[in-house]
Structure 1
Amino acid sequence: MSRRSRGQDEESQIRFRPNPKGNRPRTKDRPSHTDAVPAQVVTVDRGRYGCLLGGFETGGDKDLVITAMKARELGRAGVVVGDRVALVGDVSGAEGSLARIVRVEPRTSVLRRSADDTDTVERVIVANADQLAVVTALADPVPRARMVDRCLVAAYDAGLDPLLVLTKADLADPAEFTAGYAALEVPWLVTRRADEGIDGLEAVRKQLTGRVTVLVGHSGVGKSTLFNALVPGAGRAIGRVNDVTGRGRHTSTSAVALRLPDGGWVVDTPGVRSFGLGHVDMSRILNAFPELVPGAEECPRGCSHDEPDCGLDAWVNEGHAGSSGPARLESLRRLLRARAGAPDY
């Protein structure tokens, strides 16, 4: 047999399998998933999402939390705690079951931060909350007003109602610290450690009842202690303050949402040492001061609202912003400086 005929005989014995993927007709149409069930994300852990069937507003389906993964068709779309989602697949909640998140519903609010003030890429922390509780200790560690200011800017930018929760009042008088926020008209609550728990806890619980509240604060300020007291059995790890640096150690490594006993939800977030605001449009901060907004119409183009030709000075001096106008203007400028300045590390 010649070399040519032998080669042809060998080729005839080769089997060619059809490529099912290549033969599948391409389409841009995505499944509608009309049978998807609503849920809300309560935990995020390494690509797995704990989703409460029904969501916060309906109270959930017997606290049934479904483990789910993000469907491929969502691409790089982020999913965070608080997101309202649609699930398909196994939603029984049985051990080892896994559903798919096929849709993320429009968000009513988004709390975000950037890595630093030069980074305009935003990192979404929590979605669909309506209140931001900034937790800060009055001592051990010392309060960092600039950090609190930056959290307030993030709250105003996200459209969340701000609340100051001051812990460890047994170590320092809160009067001096709270005086700096009187003009901002931010409500504040004080707690102190006691032998039988936390004094002032009921006032905090009342302020959180019926709402979706995010707790944000430096490490070591008592945020996880407060969270565990508000939600018995939560079991969030509690850290201590370093005797040398005066700063706390990160104990909470991921956000988690839990139901409050009297109604409402509270979201604990990892302790932060900085709160970048590079993504915030500075003009949006002004909207938190509605009595000053009309005065900004007299400002020169590109006014930073903290310069000699700013039209807000004349507006306030003429009494249009009321008796608290000067203090409110100074508070606005303090927040603008916090937005434009270096983080409080």
Structure 2
Amino acid sequence: MRRREYDESDVRVRPGRSTRARTRTRPRHEQAVDAFVVAVDRGRYTCALDDGTVLLAMLARELGRAGVVVGDRVAVVGDLSGRAGSLVRIVRVAPRTSTLLRSADDGAGTPAWREKVIVANAVQLVIVSALADPPPRTGFIDRCLVAAYDAGITPLLCLTKADLAGPEAVLDYYADLGLRYVLCRPDEDPAALRTALADQLSVLVGHSGVGKSTLVNRLVPEARRAVGTVSAVGKGRHTSSSAVALPLAGGGWVIDTPGVRSFGLAHISPDDLLHGFAELADASTGCLPNCDHSGLGGDCGLDKAVADGAADPRRLASYRRLLASRAGDEPPS
């Protein structure tokens, strides 16, 4: 018997699980309703409608792995009743007006995936710092200022525990910057802060133990944010585990974020670091072309500004520490 010879026509291809033609056209969801993301937890998003209804949502499949964070404006479809057990889908994410980022670490070699979006669409960054117990850390404040200016967000310095120490030293350090600030005491209502937050989307950042959660509980009593204590070495324990947006009685939102120990700036270029040092940025016009502002090569216009009394030497030292930290030559402050 002659053996049969096979060719390509004998090959059978098993069809896939679905024979429906794929399309790149996404559903328009014209009936989707606008919502505001107030919390994120393990792939579930708590959203608030304009009428105050709170919904639990998940990302629609067509969005893929789109990053959605607290502060995002989204469009949702599904059961909008807010009943327990109901789940809606996020089908669109609106373009952001601002994005506040921080890196996990400093250093020029820090990979891009280590950058973390803290919040979206904030218009005001409230930097919370205690005047004592723990003492103020201007290096951390400087980092937050750089991040705020880079994101196009207005900074506000909130100095807590004003009953333990005066603000003169901190305010003197930022005198040339004209930084807005409010003072808060634990035994008084934070009226000045409440006024500054009205009708704004503001985000609070600060080290653990500076009294941030205490402030939030005074601003939004129903929030019941956990309040921690400060150890004997001046370090507080983390009391907020995730960012959450809370509505203010007079209008606006305040976003409470977890306490942080460092604020990495690896995502910001050396030139853009000057955004947080406005007085030094003006002085840098006297630098030679391609000046790295480190002072190691001499003839830096920043040194001349300090010598002429036009800039604070402490601010220049802080800026150069940030440069060295970003290059990996010095640990983060």
Give the match's secondary structure for 2:139.
helix
Do 1:138 and 1:171's aligned partners in 2 also have CA atoms closer than 8 Å? yes
Give the match's secondary structure for 1:302.
coil
Match in the other structure for 2:265 = 277
Normalising by structure 2, we get a TM-score of: 0.84
Which amino acid is 2:250 matched to? D
Match in the other structure for 1:193 = 186
Distance 2:122 2:132 in 1: 29
Show the 5 A alignment for 1:251-270.
251-270=239-258
Which amino acid is 2:175 matched to? A
Match in the other structure for 2:300 = 310
Distance 2:256 2:273 in 1: 25
Do 1:277 and 1:339's aligned partners in 2 also have CA atoms closer than 8 Å? no
| Of 114-123 and 299-308, the range deviating more from structure 2 | 299-308
Distance 1:217 1:246 in 2: 14
How high is the sequence identity, in percent, across the aligned residues? 57
How far off is 1:89 after superposition? 1.9
Deviations 1:14-54 (A, max 9, x none): xxxx967331112222222222211110111111111112x
Q: 1:289 to 1:138 in 2, by over 3 A?
A: closer
Give the match's secondary structure for 2:213.
helix
| Of 179-188 and 214-223, the range deviating more from structure 2 | 179-188
How far off is 1:311 after superposition? 4.2
Q: 1:300 to 1:71 in 2, by over 3 A?
A: farther
Q: 1:145 to 1:292 in 2, by over 3 A?
A: closer
Q: 1:180 to 1:294 in 2, by over 3 A?
A: closer
Q: 1:97 to 1:219 in 2, by over 3 A?
A: same
Deviations 1:236-289 (A, max 9, x none): 01111122x321111100111111111211100000011111001232243456
- Unaligned regions of 5+ residues in structure 1, if any? 1-17, 54-59, 319-323
Q: Does 1:172 align with 2:156?
A: no
Distance 2:282 2:218 in 1: 44
Q: 1:132 to 1:255 in 2, by over 3 A?
A: same
Do 2:74 and 2:94's aligned partners in 1 also have CA atoms closer than 8 Å? yes
Normalising by structure 1, we get a TM-score of: 0.82
Q: Does 1:143 align with 2:143?
A: no
Match in the other structure for 1:67 = 56
Correspondent of 2:214 among 201, 225, 250: 225
Match in the other structure for 2:192 = 203
Match in the other structure for 2:153 = 160
Q: 1:114 to 1:108 in 2, by over 3 A?
A: same
Distance 1:106 1:228 in 2: 31
Do 1:306 and 1:333's aligned partners in 2 also have CA atoms closer than 8 Å? no
Report the number of matched residues. 309
Distance 1:246 1:312 in 2: 34
Match in the other structure for 2:11 = none
Do 1:156 and 1:285's aligned partners in 2 also have CA atoms closer than 8 Å? no
Give the match's secondary structure for 1:22.
coil
Q: 1:224 to 1:160 in 2, by over 3 A?
A: same
Match in the other structure for 1:103 = 92
Match in the other structure for 2:322 = 338
How far off is 1:147 after superposition? 1.1
Give the match's secondary structure for 1:50.
strand
Structure number with bigger Rg? 1
- Unaligned regions of 5+ residues in structure 2, if any? 1-13, 326-330
Give the match's secondary structure for 2:221.
coil
Q: 1:143 to 1:292 in 2, by over 3 A?
A: closer
Distance 2:231 2:306 in 1: 45
Deviations 1:287-311 (A, max 9, x none): 4566765764564443223433334
Q: 1:206 to 1:293 in 2, by over 3 A?
A: same
